[in-house]
């Protein structure tokens, strides 16, 4: 009986030890699995963070490029204005929006152009109209449309084009030798002419 009991005890001990080993193995597997899942979760968070940073950087870069492009097109005539890239682009935007096109001819090295530019930017009424009521274009090189030089090529020179594709030669400044020129002291006259140009030709009939 003692032998059988002792044998039974050894068998039971072996079963218990085997069960303990199984439990430890399961626990180890659980720990490894949890650790693996935790590692995958951490890696996923880092991947998502990297993607988010990449998207933010890309958005910032696009915004910066857009800002630089807008500033380069404005050439100092108003950074808050959506400037057309060229005459053809201006005509296309005019046709789509049915807003008149205002074309400013100037030169970077012209002192009269520089003075007019400063007055143009400083006048809040003009800036507001330019932003809301017109398709705006400023050029330092002459366009191929001779209708934009009805009395010759000089700067500064400002003309308006109606959505009916009519150059408003009737809207002039105060100088008889250069009908479409303006100086810094003529800024109020320019504002008045912009108000005239805002009214479409078909509405005047």
- Report pLDDT digits (tens) over 185-200: 999 999 999 999 999 9
Closest of 119, 205, 200 to residue 158, by C-alpha: 119
Question: pTM higher than 0.75, yes or no?
Answer: no
pLDDT at 53: 72
Is residue 130 within 8 A of residue 74, CB to CB? The reply is no
Residue 61: count other Cβ atoms within 10 Å of its Cβ: 10
- Report pLDDT digits (tens) over 65-119: 555 455 699 999 999 999 999 999 999 999 999 999 999 999 999 999 999 999 9
Cα separation of 97 and 113, whole Å?
A: 28
Assign a CATH topology to domain 87-204: Glutaredoxin (3.40.30)
Domain ranges within the chain, ordered by starting residue: 1-65, 87-204
- Report pLDDT digits (tens) over 6-50: 444 444 454 545 545 554 444 444 443 445 545 666 777 777 776
C-alpha R_g of the chain: 38
Q: Region of 159 please: left (phi>0), alpha (psi -120 to 50) or beta.
A: beta
């Amino acid at each position: 009986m003692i032998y059988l009991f002792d044998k039974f005890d050894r068998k039971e001990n072996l079963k218990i030890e085997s069960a303990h080993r199984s439990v430890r193995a399961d626990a180890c597997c659980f720990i490894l699995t949890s650790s693996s899942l935790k590692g995958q979760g951490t890696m996923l968070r880092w991947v998502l963070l990297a993607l988010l940073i990449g998207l933010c950087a890309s958005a910032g870069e696009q915004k910066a490029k857009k800002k630089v492009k807008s500033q380069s097109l404005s050439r100092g005539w108003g950074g808050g204005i959506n400037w057309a890239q060229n005459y053809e682009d201006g005509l296309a935007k005019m046709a789509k929006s049915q807003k008149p096109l205002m074309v400013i001819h100037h030169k970077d090295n012209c002192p009269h152009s520089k003075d007019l530019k400063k007055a143009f930017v400083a006048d809040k009424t003009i800036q507001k109209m330019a932003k809301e009521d017109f398709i705006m274009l400023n050029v330092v090189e002459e366009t191929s449309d001779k209708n934009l030089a009805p009395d010759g090529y000089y700067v500064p020179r400002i003309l308006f084009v109606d959505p009916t594709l009519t150059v408003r030669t009737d809207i002039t400044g105060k100088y008889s030798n250069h009908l479409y020129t303006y100086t810094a002291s003529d800024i109020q006259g320019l504002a008045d002419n912009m108000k005239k140009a805002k009214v479409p030709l078909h509405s005047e009939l």
